[in-house]
Amino acid sequence: MISDWFLEPLQFSFMTRALIGTSLIALLSAFIGTFVVLKGLAFISDAIAHTAFSGMAVALLLGWNLNLGALLLGIFTAVGVTFLNRTAKLRNDTALAILFTGAFALGIILMATMPNFAGDLSSLLLGSVLSIRVQELYWIIAAFIGVGIMLKVTFHHLVFVAFDPVGAEAAGIPVVWLQTLLMIMISIAVVVSIQAVGVVLVMALLITPAATAALFTRNILKMMGLAASLGLFASWIGMYIAYYVAAPPGATIVVVATLQFALGLVISYLRQQQPLNTEGRRSS
């Protein structure tokens, strides 16, 4: 029975925690990912994910909470990049790539030298959503609420800055402050997403659902809503497939999201082949 198929995994508390965790992460990633996709911040987000990993290694060394370490180094990278972009006014892809891969490599060495942790390295790199504990779930809920409030409160101003940064600055909108806030929100989304899918795949949750949504709408709120639905769908389907075929859940979620994107590409291509609308352009 389908209901049995659906209910069976929920008997296990680790699956329930994993589903709640990935659902919240998928929603958070979709909202923030919309800005990442629209403003082409994927590379910077990847850098944040890699330095956040080093932050975890340092936190482990100092006996801190892993999330705290990841968040601090992630935010440091995000704010540093915003500042560099503004003051140096140069394309710093190369410098950033050298810096974040270097920091990432250092993080791997640090982790490997810690005998108690070396075995869990792959869980950080590839995600370990099935081992989410209640305490980690609290972190995810706090991140979800915190970023949700920040985004709701600053939404109109963030959109102004993203659409027309020069006009916004000329009108006295605190552009640097808002750009920094966006980078902090990206850092938070990245750090909590690492729990679900790991450092290597974190970009997929952030970008793929938002990019798929962008194929279908020209309205930012609809894009966020669609990205959130797609992210949720990918998370649940991915978790269930992973449960029944004993596949790694993080990777399965990412594969489902990628298939969604591929399907989205095909559908949007077919829609473009339809006869022209002579009544005027669609507003969505």
Beta carbons within 10 angstroms of residue 170's beta carbon: 10
Report d(CA 55, CA 69) in Å as an integer: 5
Applying CB under 8 A, among 190, 223, 226, 242 the residue interacting with other proteins is 223
Applying CB under 8 A, among 79, 173, 237, 259 the residue interacting with other proteins is 173
Q: Which is nearer to other proteins, 224 or 242 (CB)?
A: 224
DSSP state letters, 12-54: SHHHHHHHHHHHHHHHHHHHHHHHHHHTT-HHHHHHHHHHHHH
Are 74 and 55 in contact, with CB atoms under 8 Å apart? yes
Interface with other proteins, residue 178, by CB under 8 A: yes
Token pair belonging to 108? 């791997």
Interface with other proteins, residue 258, by CB under 8 A: no
Binding residues among 142-171 for other proteins as defined by CB under 8 A: 153-154, 156-157, 159-160, 162-171
Report d(CA 212, CA 262) in Å as an integer: 8
Q: Which is nearer to other proteins, 133 or 218 (CB)?
A: 218
- In the block, residue with structure tokens 């806030």: 181
**Cα 170 to Cα 116, 165, 178, 260, distances in angstroms:** 54, 9, 14, 40
Q: Which stretch binds other proteins (CB under 8 A): 51-59, 79-87, 140-148, 214-222?
A: 214-222
**Closest distance of CB 215 from other proteins, Å:** 12
Query: With contacts defined by CB under 8 A, how many residues of the chain interact with other proteins?
Result: 31
Q: Contact positions toward other proteins, by CB under 8 A?
A: 38-39, 153-154, 156-157, 159-160, 162-174, 177-178, 214, 217-220, 223, 281, 283
